[in-house]
């Protein structure tokens, strides 16, 4: 079996990279953001699959299946993380956010192509007052079309990543192929930021990148923020 995969709302390619490293055959990554797509295309060492700048609205009504050359039900995995800004606890202002509706377009795409599995991630705030009803409606729709949906709050720090990063992850598996999925248990591996990047030399004091490490630089902070730190 080919573990074929499409990464929707791909961003700069982090999920595509992980899926590829895990053995998935990533057929396509797409996102509406120009800078994200240019980032993926510029990293040919890591990404060799088709990458497109596209709105998810342009991928429904059969176009996605035409692009990847598969029929309904043949794709192994549809992955994606629709925009999270509307659900973020850091957000201020009105609860309503038009970007939240993109979750339903993702569900519509699942319904159309009927992958064996789908995975969707979002910020933990999606279970708060701004997103709980939307998340519940999506899960209900996916259940109604024949998916067993598993939901879990995962934290990257429990899997060897030097960052507290909590995300709600949904995994749906088509009921006709079985419902045996379970989320991975925490690895117990703990890494600190110092252990991960402590070998780096001190960056220049003027905010320019280090000559040997192009992405290693200081933030340009005000005097008051420097005192706070």
User: What are the catalytic residues?
Assistant: 84
Quickly list DSSP for the chain.
Answer: ---EEEEES-TTSHHHHHHHHTT-EEEEEEES-HHHHHHHHH-TTT--SEEEE--GGGGTTTHHHHHHT--TT--SEEEE----TTT-TT--S-S--GGGGHHHHHHHHHHHH--SEEEEEEEGGGGSTTTHHHHHHHHHHHHHTTEEEEEEEEEGGGGT-SS--EEEEEEEEEGGG-----PPPP------HHHHHTTSPPPPTTSPPPSS-TT-------HHHHHH-
Residue 154 forms beta bridges with which residues? 167
CB within 8 A of 29, min separation 6: which ones? 6, 7, 10, 13, 16, 40, 47, 49, 50, 51, 52
């Amino acid at each position: 079996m080919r573990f074929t995969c499409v990464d929707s709302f791909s961003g700069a390619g982090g999920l595509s990279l992980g899926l590829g490293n895990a053995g998935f055959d990533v057929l396509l990554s797409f996102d509406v953001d120009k800078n994200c797509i240019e980032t993926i295309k510029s990293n040919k060492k890591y990404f060799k699959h088709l990458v497109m700048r596209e709105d998810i609205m342009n991928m429904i009504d059969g176009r996605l299946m035409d692009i990847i050359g598969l029929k309904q039900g043949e794709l192994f995995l549809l992955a994606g993380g629709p925009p999270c800004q509307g659900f973020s606890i850091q957000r201020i202002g009105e609860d309503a956010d038009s970007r939240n509706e993109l979750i339903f377009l993702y569900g519509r795409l699942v319904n159309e192509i009927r992958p064996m599995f789908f995975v969707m991630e979002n910020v933990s705030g999606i279970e708060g007052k701004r997103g709980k009803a939307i998340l519940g409606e999506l899960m209900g729709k996916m259940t109604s079309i024949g998916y067993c949906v598993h939901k879990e709050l995962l934290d990257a720090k429990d899997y060897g990543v030097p960052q507290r990063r909590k995300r709600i992850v949904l995994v749906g598996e088509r009921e006709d192929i079985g419902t045996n999925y379970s989320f991975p248990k925490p690895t117990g591996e703990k890494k600190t930021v110092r252990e991960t990047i402590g070998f780096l030399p001190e960056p220049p004091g003027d905010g320019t990148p280090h000559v040997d490490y192009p992405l290693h630089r200081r933030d340009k902070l005000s005097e008051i923020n420097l005192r706070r730190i």
